[in-house]
A and B are shown apart, each in its own frame.
Chain A
């Protein structure tokens, strides 16, 4: 248990569906992140929230919409996704400037 919980663990959706990924951290951290992990590729940073404010958006398509209502919760809203968006989506949190990230187990997303 890393203290970061992601739901659901697996998600299959069609290209016209709307779904949301949820992340919750119980560590009291102030920063939260969304990463995308595709096969044989480096982890790609998607979004960063620091004290609930979005501080980074790495040119992510608008079909991915993050939401951070408070420092403990992070959502990723998905709509009209493409098959190439199929990947493992990882949430992480951190505290301070030590760079030590705590990751959830991820949501394995399949877009049909």
Chain B
């Protein structure tokens, strides 16, 4: 069975602070995908990143960066110099790498990030 744990239910920071959202996963698969999605107040989840389990290079995209540590089964997400527009619920997710075109994701319970002006 697959499981994703986001222990931080809510985080509040002041604008321009850096913030890290934690994600820990469990899977018996040796290869898998990891994802982060953002859910703004409008409701729709927006894809941020997908990582393949055999690629442990960290990734940076603007103010966003992701730290994948296979040894600790973690895939943490850092926002540098946070902005009010970053306020949202952030979900970490896990899926198998399998054939077929309908990929099923296992989501964590999400972290509500509030960035105060």
Q: Residues on A close to B: CB < 8 A?
A: 2, 4, 30-31, 33, 40-43, 45, 48-51, 55-56, 88, 90, 92, 94-106, 108
B residues within 8 Å of A by Cβ? 4, 9, 33, 35, 37, 42-47, 50, 91, 95, 97-110
Q: Is the CB of A94 within 8 A of B102?
A: yes
Which residue of chain B has its CB nearest to the CB of A32?
B102
**What residues of chain B lie closer than 8 Å to A40, measured between beta carbons?**
9, 109
- Bound state CA distance, A98 and B50, in angstroms? 8
Asked if A31 and B109 sit within 8 Å, CB to CB, the answer is: no
With A2-B46, A88-B43, A103-B44 in contact, is A97–B101 under 8 Å at CB? Answer: yes
B9, closest chain A residue (CB): A40
Residue of A nearest to B110 (CB): A42
Rounded to whole angstroms, the CA-CA distance of A55 and B99 in the bound complex is 13
- Smallest CB gap from A107: residue in B: B43
B35: chain A residues at CB < 8 Å are: 99
Given contacts A2-B44, A104-B44, contact A96 B104 (CB under 8 A): no
CB A83 to nearest CB in B, in angstroms, measures 21
Q: With A31-B102, A41-B109, A55-B102 known to touch, is A99 a contact of B44 (CB < 8 Å)?
A: no
Q: Which of B42, B47, B100, B108 is the one whose CB lies under 8 Å from A97?
A: B100
Q: Are A105's CB and B46's CB within 8 A?
A: no
Considering only CB atoms, which chain B residue lies closest to A43 in the complex?
Answer: B107
Q: How far is the CA of A34 from the CA of B37 in the complex (A)?
A: 16
Compute how far the CA of A55 lies from the CA of B104 in the bound complex, rounded to whole angstroms.
10
A48 with B102, Cβ < 8 A, contacts A42-B110, A43-B91, A101-B47 known: yes
Q: Are A42 and B43 in contact (CB under 8 A)?
A: no
Whose C-beta in chain A lies nearest to the C-beta of B49? Answer: A100
- Shortest Cβ distance from A92 into B: residue: B45
Whose C-beta in chain B lies nearest to the C-beta of A95? B101
